[in-house]
Structure 1
Amino acid sequence: MVVLTLAACAVAPGKHAGAPASAAQPLNHLVVGTSDADHDLVAQLMAGEMALTHTDLKGASAAYGRAMMLSSDPRVAEQAAALAIAVRDVPAAETAIARWKTLGAKPAPLAQARAELALSQGNTDEAQRQLELLVNTGDPDAWRQFGRVLLGSRDAAQAAQLLEAVATPQRLPPDPQAWLAMSELGDKLERHAYAQQIADAAMKRFGTAETYAWAAQMKFRSGDKAGAKVLFDKALAKDPKSTRLRLAYATLLGQSGDDAGAARLLDSGPQDADTYALRAALAARSNDTKTLTRLYSQLQRSPKETQQSSAYLLGQLAEMLDHKEEALKWYGQVPDDDEHAFDADLRSAVLLQATGRSAEAHEQLAQMQTDYLDQPALLRRAYEADAELYMDEQEYAQAEHAFSRALQVMPDDPSLLYGRGLAYAEEGQVDQAVTDFRRLLEIKPDDTDAINALGYTLADANRDLSEAQRLIETARAARPNDPAIQDSWGWLQYRLGHLDQAETTLRSAWMANKDADVGVHLGEVLWKQGRQEDARRVFDEVRKIDPQSANLHNTLKRLNP
C-alpha cells in the first residue's frame, strides 16, 4: 500500500492522540493517601493497572473512576473516560469526561472521546457534531483521531455515513496524506464511490506520486486496468527512484497477468530486499531458471544489510537451483526474530535429510518441537514434517508416532489423519489405518484422496472388496485420469482375479507416472500372468527409481522365495 495507513481500529484506553507521548504516567503524580483503600490514589491506580493486566476492563474502569476523583491529573480522568467508553458504561463515561474537562482536557481528545461515547450509544447526530468539533480544532493529529474513531465503531454503516458527512473535500486540510487516508478509509468501509472521488480530487489538487499511485490502485480495483497503468506511469514519472511505487506497480502488473512487464519494471532502478523478493517470486512462477540464477548472483553481491534481510530468500534461491549446502548456510543465517525463522528451520531439516543427514534432520525438528511448544499451529507443522521425513525413510512406526503427537496438538486434523492412516497401512496395521480413514471421511465425506486411500487399503488387505470397489469407483468418477487412483483400481482388479484388466490399468498408470509402487504392482501382475521376464524388466526400472523400495523387496521375496 502506498498510502499512509490509518492506525489501529480502536484507541487503547488512555491512548488518545492528544496526550503527549513522552508524558509521565499517572502513577508519577502521587498524593498522600489515607489508610482507606477507596480513598488511596496509589491503591486505586495499582488496582486499575492490575485489572488491565488481567484484561478485566470493568474492574479497571471502576478503579480508575475512583482514582480520577482523588487526582488532579487530567490523564487519570482521560484513562477513566476511555475505559468507561470501552465497557459501554455511559454514566461513568459522562462523569469521567466532565471531570477530565474540569481538569483541563485539550479540545481535540475531548471531542474524540465524546464522539466515541455518542457512537457507542448509536447517537449519530451527536457523534457528527463532536467529529466536526474535532477536525475544526486545528490539532495536527485531528484527522488521524477522526479516522480512529470511525475504525473503532461497531457499526460500519454508521461510520461510513459519518465519513461522507464530515470528511468532505471542502473540510479536508491541505495535506495529501489526510486525503489519501480518508479515501482508504472509505474503501475499507465499502464506500467505493466516495473513495474514488477523494482519490481523484487529491490527485488533481496535489499531483504527488503517492496521490497518482493511490488513484491508480482505485482504478485497478474498479476494473479499469488501462487507466490504472496510465496513472502509475505518471506516479513513477514524479518519483522514478521510489522502490515503493515500483513494487506497487509491479504487483498490479502481476495481478493483471503481465509478469514480464512486472519483471522489467523491477529489474531497473534501486534494489532492496522487497524488490528482490518480488522479482524472485515472478521468476519462480514462470519457472525462469536463468533469471533465478541471475538474481541469486546479484543478491550474493548486494550490500551486507540487504543480504542479511534476504537470508531466507537466498536460501530459497539456492534450494531451487539445487545448491543444497549453500541453501543450508543461508537458512542458518535467518535471525530468530525473522518472520521466516520457522520456515528456514523447517527447510533446513528437509535439506539435511536430502543430503544424507537424517539424524541431524530429526534432531533439528526435535529442537523445533521444544522451541514452539507454546505455538500449536507451528508445533503441529514441526511434528508433521518429522512424520513426513520418517515416511520418506520408510520408518513407518516412527512416522505414526510423530503423526500421533501432532494429532494431540490438533485433534481430528484431516491432513494428519490421512498421513497417520498411510503410516498405519504401510506398517501393516490395517485396522488402525481403516479407522483413521473412516474418521477422516466422517469429517470430509467428499475427500477423494481419503476415499481412494480407504478403498486401496481394503483392496491391498484383500478384504471387504465390494466396499473397496464402491470407494475406488467413486474416486475414479471424481478424478478419472489420476495415476494413483488408476493404481488402486488396477490393484483391486488383481485382487478380484481380473489379471488382464489389472495389467491394462496398471500399465496405463505406470506410463503416466513412473511411481515405484505402481511398478511393483504391475510387475506382480505380469509375474502372475506367467510373464516373468517382462516382470523383471519392470522391477529393474523400479530399482532405478527407488533402490531402497521395501515394497519391491517384500514382493520379490513373496514371488520368488
Structure 2
Amino acid sequence: MHDGMPHRHPNRVRFGVVGVVLAIATAACAPLPRKTAAGDAPAPPAVTAVAPENDLMLKLLAAQFALQGDDLAAGAQGYAEAADLSDDPAVAEEATRLALAVRQWPMARRALARWQQLAPKERGIVQSRAALALGEQRADDAYVDLAALAARGDDQSWRLVAQALLNAPDKAAAAKLLERLATPEHLAAKETNWIAMSQLAFKLGDKGVAQRLADRAVSTFHGSESYAWSARLALDRGDKAAARAQYAEALKRDPDSLRLRGGYAALLADAGDNAAAARALERGPQNDTTFASRAAYAARAEDKAALTRLYREMQAGKGERSGERSYLLGQVGEMLDKRAEALEWYREVGDDDEHWFDARIREAVLLDQLGREAEALDFLHQLQAQTGEDSEQLGSAYLLEAELFVRRQRPRDALAVYERALGVLSDDTRLLYARALLAVEQGDADSAERDLRRVVELKPDDAEAMNALGYTIADGSPRGSPKLGEARELIRRAIELKPNEPAIIDSLGWLHYRLGDLDASLKQLRRAYEKQPEPDIAAHLGEVLWVKGERDEARRIWDEGRRKDPKNKVLLETIKRLTS
C-alpha cells in the first residue's frame, strides 16, 4: 500500500480500483446458462437497474476521466462518492489523498473515516489524519499523529512525517510543529535523522530551526555529514569563511569522500582560489572525475606546478588507461606545451570512445602547430570522409580546415573551404557565420551581410547572429541611410535576448555613434568596455572619445588594447585613421 502524500496529478487507477472495475466487468460479461436436458433454456436472471447515484463503476470511470483532463476537483469528488459505495480500501485511500490535494477538508474527513473503517492498521491513515489536522489548523492534533509516526523510528515513518509537513498549507505552522518533533526523544541517536530534519526545516523556510538542528547534530555526533550540511547552511547565509572551516572539519573525518572533496573544492574556486581547489582534490583516492576537476582548477589558476604533478600522476596510473584518461592527458600535455606527447595521447583515444571526435580534432590542430601543415590537411580530409554521415562533426572538420588557412593568412584558401563545405551542408549556420566574419575582415560587406541574413533566417532567435548582422549593416552604412533603422531593430532584439552581453552592448554603442549620438554612444561603449576590456571595444570607445575631444583618455584606452593584442587589425586601423 502506498504511504506517500498525494501527487499534484494522481491521474491513475490504483490496483484496488482496477480490481473493482474488473470484477464488475467480469460479472457483466458472464456466459449465459446452458440449456437443460429437456432442451429448455431457463429464464434469464432478472436485471436490476442501478441508479446513477449508486453506480460504483460509473463514478470511478467519471473520476478517472476528470483526472485525465487535469480536473482534480471533479476527480476528488468522484472518488469521494465512489468510496461511499466501495468496500475496497484502495478507493477510500485515493479519495482521501485527492481530497487533501485539493484541500477539501470535509470531503477528506469523510473519505478518511471510510478508509480507516476498511483498513484501520494502514500507516498512511496516521499521516493523512495529521495532514487533515494541519489543513484545519489543528496543530496539537497533528502533533499527536506525527509524534506517533516519529516514535516508530524507522526511515519510512520519518519520510511520512516530512511529506505531511512539506504539503501543509501553512509552512510557518509546519515549521513550528517540526521544531516540537525534532527532539532527542523522537530523533534518537541517529545523525541522519537530525540532518534530515534540519534540511526539512530549511525547505519549510525556517532557517533558524534548520541552523539549530544542524548545530545540535555537529555538537552531538561530530560526523562528516553534519559538518558538510552545516557548511551548506553557512554558504546560504553568505559566510564563506565558516563554510570553509566546516568543510575542512568534514574532510578530517572522511578524507576519502569524493562528494565532500568536490564540494570543498567548488567552494574554494567560488571564492577565487582555484589553486587551493586543485590542491584540495589532490588528497584522497583519484579517478577520472577528480583528475578532470583538478585539471580545470589548475588551468584557471595557471598553476603549471599543479598541472605538472597531475600529468605525472596520470601517466603513472596502473592498469588499462581509459579513453577519457588519454584525452585528459592530451589536454594537460597541451597546457604544458608538450605538443608531441599530447599528440600521442590523443591518438590513444579509440574510435568507440565518446571523446573520439574531439581527440581527432586536436590531432589536426597539433599537427599544424608542429609545422606539419600538409599532414594536418590530409588528416582533416580523411576525417571529413569518415564523418560524412554526421553533419555536426563534418561541419566542425570543415571549420577547422578553414581556420588553419586563416591562421596562415591564406583567406582565399579558407573561402574555398567554406564554398566546398556549404556545397555539402548548405544551411550549416556555423559555416555561414564563419564565412561572413571572414568576408568582413576582407572588406566584403555585401557577402557578409548576405550570409548573416541567411543565418538570421535559419535562426530567428539567435542573439549573436542578429547582433552580427546589425553591426555589419551599421558599420557599412553612411549616416542618414535608411538601413540604419534596420540595424537598430536587429541590435534592439539582440540586446533584449542578452542584455548583459558586452559584444551586443558594443554594437549598440557603435550604432549610436553612426547615428551621431555621441553621448549615448559613449555611455554604452564604456559599459561594454567595463564588462570586457578587449581590443575591438577599445578601438570603438577610443574613437568616440577622440571625436569628443577627450584625446588623452582615447590614447590610454588604445594603449590598453594594444598591450592585450598588438596586432589587432580593427584597433590598429582606427588609430592610424584618426591620428595620421
1:264 corresponds, among 264, 279, 296, to 279
1:353 aligns with 2:399: yes
Q: 1:186 aligns with which of 191, 201, 224?
A: 201
> Greater relative contact order: 1 or 2 (C-alpha under 8 angstroms, separation 6 or more)?
1
Aligned mate of 1:488, from 521, 526, 540: 540
d(CA) in 1 for partners of 2:132 and 2:327?
47
Check conservation: 1:386, 1:399, Cα contact below 8 A. Answer: no
| Cα separation, partners in 2 of 1:315 and 1:202, compared to 1, 3 Å | same
Q: Match of 2:290, SS?
A: helix
- Contact 1:315–1:329 (CA under 8 A) maintained in structure 2: no
Contact 2:399 2:431 in 1 (8 A): no
Q: Do residues 246 (structure 1) and 295 (structure 2) align?
A: no
| Residues 220 and 169 of structure 1: CA distance in aligned 2, closer, same or farther (over 3 Å) | farther
For the 8 Å contact 1:490–1:503, the answer to whether it is kept is yes
Contact 2:256–2:284 under 8 Å retained in 1 = yes
Is 1:473 paired with 2:507?
A: no
Q: 1:201 aligns with which of 216, 223, 238?
A: 216
Whole-angstrom distance in 2 between the partners of 1:328 and 1:426 = 48
> Is the partner of 2:185 in helix, strand or coil?
coil
Distance 1:13 1:519, change over 3 A: closer
Match of 2:70 in 1: 55
SS at match of 2:186: coil
DSSP-derived class of the 1:170 partner: helix
Q: For residue 203 of structure 1, report the CA deviation from its aligned partner.
A: 3.6
Q: Secondary structure at the match of 1:59?
A: helix
Task: Kindly state the Cα deviation for residue 57 of structure 1 after the two structures are TM-superposed.
Answer: 1.9
In structure 2, how many angstroms separate the alpha carbons of the residues matched to 1:456 and 1:269? 53
Distance 2:70 2:320 in 1: 40
Residue in structure 2 matched with residue 418 of structure 1 by the alignment: 467
8 Å Cα contact 1:57-1:87 kept in structure 2? yes
Give the distance between the partners of 1:49 and 1:273, measured in 2 at CA: 50
Corresponding residue to 2:459 among 403, 406, 414: 406
Aligned to 1:511: 562
CA 1:516 to 1:200, structure 2 compared with 1: closer, same or farther past 3 Å?
A: same
**Matched residues in 2 for 1:315 and 1:96: separation?**
66
- TM-align CA RMSD: 5.1
What amino acid does structure 2 have at the position aligned with 1:198? L
CA distance in 2, matches of 1:168, 1:263: 40
Q: Which amino acid aligns with 2:162?
A: G
Distance 1:362 1:259, change over 3 A: farther
Q: 2: CA distance between counterparts of 1:511 and 1:43?
A: 81
What's the CA shift for 1:182?
0.6
Shift of the 183–297 alpha-carbon distance from structure 1 to 2, 3 Å rule, reads same
Structure 1 residues 441 and 239, CA gap change in structure 2 (3 angstroms): closer
Once the 2 structures are TM-superposed, how far is the Cα of residue 271 of structure 1 from its aligned partner? 2.3
Contact kept? 1:452, 1:475, Cα under 8 Å: yes
Q: 1:176 aligns with which of 175, 183, 191?
A: 191
- Identify the residue that residue 3 of structure 1 maps to in structure 2: none
Q: Does 1:435 find its partner at 2:435? A: no
User: Amino acid of the residue matched to residue 516 of structure 1?
Assistant: K
Counterpart for residue 113 of structure 2? 98
Equivalent pair of 2:83/2:91 in contact (CA under 8 Å): yes
Change in 2 beyond 3 A, CA 1:331/1:220? farther
**How much does 1:424 deviate?**
4.0
**Residue pair 2:264, 2:277 contacting (<8 A) in 1 also:** yes
Alignment: residue pair count: 477
Q: Please report how far the alpha carbon of residue 233 of structure 1 lies from its aligned counterpart in structure 2 after TM superposition.
A: 4.9
Shift of 1:157: 1.8
Q: CA, structure 1 residues 53+453, in 2 after alignment: closer, same or farther (shift >3 Å)?
A: same
Q: 1:292, 1:330 → 2: CA distance? A: 24
Offset, 1:130: 3.2
Tell me, in whole angstroms, the C-alpha distance in 2 between the residues paired with 1:423 and 1:103: 76
The one-character-per-residue Cα deviations of 1:409-430 (angstroms, maximum 9, x if unpaired) are x5xx866643442254467654
Counterpart for residue 143 of structure 1: 158
* Letter of the 1:118 counterpart: A
In the TM superposition, residue 101 of structure 1 has moved relative to its aligned partner by 0.9
Gaps of 5+ in 2: 29-48, 356-390, 403-416, 440-447, 478-482
What secondary structure does 2:7 align onto?
A: coil
Counterparts of 1:486 and 1:247 in 2: how far apart (Å)? 39
Specify whether residues 45 and 314 from structure 1 end up closer, same or farther in structure 2 by C-alpha distance, changes over 3 A only: farther
SS at match of 1:12: coil
71-80 or 247-256: which moved more? 247-256
Q: SS at 2:24's partner residue?
A: coil
Match of 2:379 in 1: none
Query: When the two structures are superposed, what TM-score results if normalisation uses the length of structure 2?
Result: 0.64
Distance 1:521 1:145, change over 3 A: same
Structure 2 CA distance, aligned partners of 1:305 and 1:66? 65
- Alignment partner for residue 163 of structure 1, among 166, 172, 178? 178
- Paired with 2:261 and 2:401, the residues of 1 have a C-alpha distance of 39
Bigger shift: 312-321 or 45-54?
Answer: 312-321
> What CA distance in whole angstroms lies between the structure 2 residues aligned with 1:62 and 1:236?
54
Q: Give the drift of 1:485.
A: 4.7
Offset of residue 505 of structure 1? 8.5
CA distance in 2, matches of 1:436, 1:68: 61
Aligned 8 A contact 1:273 1:310 in 2? yes
**Alpha carbons 1:489, 1:505 under 8 Å: kept:** no
Contact 1:449 1:475 in 2 (8 A): no
Note the 1:112-151 alignment, pairs <5 A: 112-137=127-152, 140-151=155-166
Which secondary structure state, in structure 1, belongs to the residue aligned with residue 302 of structure 2?
coil
Matched residues in 1 for 2:294 and 2:145: separation?
48
**What amino acid maps onto 1:94 in structure 2?**
R
Cα offset, 1:286, TM superposition? 0.9
Provide the residue aligned with 1:27 in structure 2.
18
Find the aligned partners of 1:244 and 1:51 in 2 and give their Cα distance.
45
Residue 315 of structure 1, CA deviation: 9.7
**Do the aligned partners of 1:491 and 1:506 also contact (CA within 8 Å) in 2?**
no
